[in-house]
Chains A and B, each alone.
Chain A
Amino acid sequence: MVQMLGKTRQARTAGVRRSTGGLTGRRLRSLVFATMRLRSGLEALLVFCVVVASPACATVKPWERAALADRCMAASPDPEESKLEQHFFAYREGSAGGSGDSGGGCGCN
């Protein structure tokens, strides 16, 4: 698990490097500020995850997953609706864009 988390950390670092290649000092400062703003929320979430995940060390066997297989338990039970909602929220929230939504224009804004 530790090794796996290490790989995740490396992948995340590599991803950031790739995405921000050619950063100027100003851009880098902006990125650092945005990260710092996230930090308090991130710490709270991490603590929550550790608390929630602690009992999860006991693995769930495939034959024990009937409830998990329910359609309502899917992270995205209706992909088309999810896409429509992403699109909708991208225009209605100033914080949208995390989905890389490609629709553009300003007409419906």
Chain B
Amino acid sequence: MGVKLRATLCTFLLLTLAAPLARAEPLEEHRDLRRKDGDSAESQVAAPAGTRVASKLALYTDDDGLTVITPIISVTQRIFDATSLSVEYDADVLSAATVDVRTAATDKFDEVRHGLAVSGIHRVRSWETDLNGSVSLSREADYASATFSAGFASDFLEKNVTLGGGYSYVVNLVGRAKTPFDSFLDILNIHAVSLSYTQLVSKRSYFQLSSSLIAAFGYQASVYRYVPLFLDGQFDPASVNESTLGTGEVRPLLRPAERVPRDRYRGALVLRYNHAFPFGFTLVPAYRVYADSWGVTSHTADVMLYQHLPLGLVLRLRNRFYYQSGASFYQRVYVIDSSDVLPENYTTDRELGTFWYDLVGLKLSLELPGLAWFEKVVIDVKGDLQYTSYTDFAYLPERTAIVVGGGLLFEL
């Protein structure tokens, strides 16, 4: 990152922090109808207190040899009466010796990705509408991307109904590690449109229906993934696994670079229902259905239980079950008749095969209101355990992963 860019960013941060602060309104005033979802243009922070500083640190590790540490810090500053700006930095520090790496007979590698995002949200009171926009950049050794998003959320019927929508454009530059972009460069363009409908159902519940359509054009394979193609009749397909491939017991005829279609259309629909029971108990079930033009379909059932405990503690229990069917061109083992005729597409990306996982998690957060000069301080810790079963991936039948993390939030 250049000195000039760093200086610009520092100046921007200082200016936003020094901007005239409007007296913070209680957050509850903005929470009468929750419209914010995780999706693209709607993931902006709802009008917060005067200044909000949040940080997270998460560690992911699994028994497939992958470790990722992800820090994230965001500063949101309310400026004027109805506008807030956010600056966010995140990174992925990863160390990988996964089955992809092992079967490709390459060494373990370490990598760092940096991400920076600037976003803003403005409330147009006369229209009962929030307008938001963001720009984010992400950079790592072999990949760079930029995302531009804009969206809106409008309240209707005395804020009993909220309609939201947004559009995102992502441009990705795909390179190869230790290879200049001049030597190898491909592009992936992604357009995403999202819509959401939120309605209060009672004094204690609401539901939200959200959908997104995504069109991706360009390079969507991995430059590091090479697919073993076996000659028909020369081996028993059931015997192919990491061990037999590694020892040379089964030998592919060819090992070309992965090839997948350059266009992909994806659609997802999510229905979530939030209900607050008496005695501080909240139940949030959600269901998601997804399909795309590569033939992948998936179903996700996610349930979260919140329980308020004494001393400002909140306990969250969670279970997420995910099932996915494989892409139409995905095969456990690719068999060819000769090296002259190859399949149109071939991949060993296990995330394009059939698999399911279950994730259970626990999170404990402690809210300390009015601590010193802070209006609110929240400390949280969490732990997730994920078990994945790959139904038709030859080189890894299952994977167990752990995610642990914690966070700190200040509002003043």
Taking Cβ atoms with an 8 Å cutoff, the residues of A that contact B are: 4, 8, 11-12, 15-16, 18-20, 26-27, 30-31, 33-35, 37-38, 41-42, 45, 48-49, 52-53, 55-56, 59-62, 64-76, 78-88, 91-95, 97-100, 102-109
Is there contact, CB below 8 Å, between A106 and B222?
A: yes
Contacts A104-B143, A109-B222 known; A49 to B94 CB distance under 8 Å?
Answer: no
Q: In whole angstroms, how far apart are the Cα atoms of A81 and B36 in the complex? A: 13
From A4, which residue of chain B is reached at the shortest CB distance?
A: B156
Q: Which residues of A contact B37 (CB under 8 A)?
A: 75-76
Q: Are B289 and A73 in contact (CB under 8 A)?
A: no
A19-B215, A78-B380, A84-B70 known; A65+B147 contact, CB < 8 A: no
Are A70 and B149 in contact, with the CB atoms below 8 A?
no
User: Whole-angstrom distance between the alpha carbons of A59 and B160 in the complex?
Assistant: 6
Chain B interface, DSSP helix/strand/loop, else mixed: strand
Instruction: Return B111 CB to nearest CB of chain A, in Å.
Output: 5
Chain B interface size band reads 35 or more
Does A98 lie within 8 Å of B204, measured CB to CB? no
Shortest CB distance B128–A (Å): 13
Contact of B43 among A62, A69, A99 (CB under 8 A): A99
A-side contacts of B66, CB under 8 Å: 108
Q: Is the CB of A99 within 8 A of B115?
A: no
User: Ordered nearest first, which 6 A-B pairs have the shortest CB separation?
Assistant: A30-B293, A37-B291, A41-B289, A72-B306, A104-B143, A95-B298
- B131 proximal to A (CB < 8 A): no
Cross-interface CB contact of A19 among B209, B213, B291, cutoff 8 Å? B213
- Shortest CB distance A78–B (Å): 7
User: Could you list which residues of chain B lie within 8 angstroms of chain A, going by C-beta atoms?
Assistant: 28, 31-40, 43, 45, 54-56, 58, 60, 66, 68, 70, 72, 74, 88, 90, 92, 94, 96, 98, 100, 109, 111, 113, 115, 136-138, 140, 142-147, 149, 156-161, 163, 165, 167-168, 170, 172, 174, 188, 190-195, 197-204, 206-209, 212-216, 222-225, 263, 265-269, 271-274, 276, 282, 284, 287, 289-293, 296-298, 300, 306, 308, 314, 316, 322, 324, 327, 349, 351-353, 357, 367, 380, 382, 386, 388, 403, 405, 407
Task: Given A68-B204, A102-B146, answer yes or no on A83-B111 (Cβ-Cβ < 8 Å).
Answer: no
Q: Are B266's CB and A49's CB within 8 A?
A: no
Complex-state Cα separation, A98 to B192, whole angstroms: 7
Residues B269 and A45 in contact, CB atoms below 8 Å apart: yes
Give the residues in chain A near B263, CB-CB below 8 Å. Answer: 26-27, 30
In the complex the two chains form, is B266's CB within 8 Å of A95's CB? yes
Select A102's contact among B145, B195, B380, beta carbons within 8 Å: B145
The answer on a CB contact under 8 Å between B308 and A72 is yes
The smallest beta-carbon distance between B202 and chain A, in angstroms, is 7
Contact (Cβ within 8 A) A37 B140: no
Contact A60 B267 (CB under 8 A): no
Q: How far is the CB of B64 from chain A (nearest CB, A)?
A: 11
A81 to B35, CA, bound (A): 17
Shortest distance from the beta carbon of A41 to any chain B beta carbon, whole Å: 4
What distance in Å separates the Cβ of B151 from its nearest Cβ neighbour in chain A?
11
Question: Within 8 Å CB of A95, what residues of B?
Answer: 266, 268, 290, 292, 296-298, 300, 324
Of the candidates B36, B40, B156, B265, the one whose C-beta lies within 8 Å of that of A74 is B36
Q: How far is the CA of A55 from the CA of B160 in the complex (A)?
A: 13
A59 to chain B: which residues have CB within 8 Å?
157-158, 160, 200
B203 touches A79 (CB 8 A): no
**For B407, what are the chain A residues with a Cβ–Cβ distance below 8 Å?**
78, 80-81
Given contacts A95-B266, A108-B68, 17 further A-B contacts (CB under 8 A): A15-B167, A56-B201, A59-B160, A62-B32, A65-B200, A65-B203, A68-B33, A76-B38, A76-B43, A79-B54, A80-B54, A82-B43, A86-B43, A94-B349, A104-B174, A107-B96, A108-B96
